[in-house]
Structure 1
Amino acid sequence: MPSRPDTTTAHARPPFTDRAACTDTIRIDPEDFFPNSGTPARALAYCRTRCTVRDECLTWALATDQRHGVWGGTTANQRAALRRG
């Protein structure tokens, strides 16, 4: 995994997002990454098979304590489990 990101800019747009698969709104609806209920299966599959910045994204999500949505090919529950070790 890459080094820890600068968390002082946690609310700024992460630098890797210009290369992220989730920004391809022609192929996937951004709302799929933040569903109101259920598992974001479509977003997870899309991210896990097409995103080239998954590691950077996951590192950023863990460092900035993202508790909602799909980040780095993981759900909020999966990230919580990773934080617990």
Structure 2
Amino acid sequence: MAQGSCANTDPEVFFPHDGIGVAVAKLVCESCTVAAPCLEYALMNRVEHGVWGGCSERQRRRILKARRAAARNDELVAVAA
């Protein structure tokens, strides 16, 4: 993400060891013009570590879980139709 706000930021910022570090990384992502594709990249590639697109590891796991549930629901609706 060469156009990202992170391009001129120390990469270590995005791999924090505590909640304060996560908040700092998210601040960088807040104004980023490529946060959405960055997040999607991390989700599609199952990136497990760091802050990507303004989301922590835990947030990305929740997003993926919600997407899987929605996909299962869509499948059930299609079968029932």
Question: Shared fold by TM > 0.5?
Answer: yes
Give the root-mean-square deviation of aligned CA atoms: 1.0
Aligned partners of 1:84, 1:73: CA distance in 2, in Å?
A: 18
- Which one of 49, 67, 70 corresponds to residue 68 of structure 1? 49
In the alignment, which residue of structure 2 is the partner of 1:81? 62
Map residues 50-61 of structure 1 onto 2, 5 A cutoff: 50-61=31-42
- Which one of 29, 45, 48 corresponds to residue 47 of structure 1? 29
- Count residues in correspondence: 64
Please state whether the residue corresponding to 1:19 is helix, strand or coil: coil
The offset of 1:58, in angstroms, is 0.8
In the alignment, which residue of structure 2 is the partner of 1:11? none
Structure 2, unmatched stretches of 5+, are 67-81
The offset of 1:56, in angstroms, is 0.5
TM-score w.r.t. the length of structure 1 is 0.70
Aligned partners of 1:55, 1:65: CA distance in 2, in Å?
A: 15
- Which one of 23, 36, 50 corresponds to residue 7 of structure 2? 23
**Identity of aligned pairs, percent?**
41
The offset of 1:62, in angstroms, is 0.4
Q: Which amino acid aligns with 2:29?
A: C
- Which one of 14, 26, 33 corresponds to residue 33 of structure 1? 14
Structure 1, unmatched stretches of 5+, are 1-16
Aligned partners of 2:18, 2:65: CA distance in 1, in Å?
A: 23
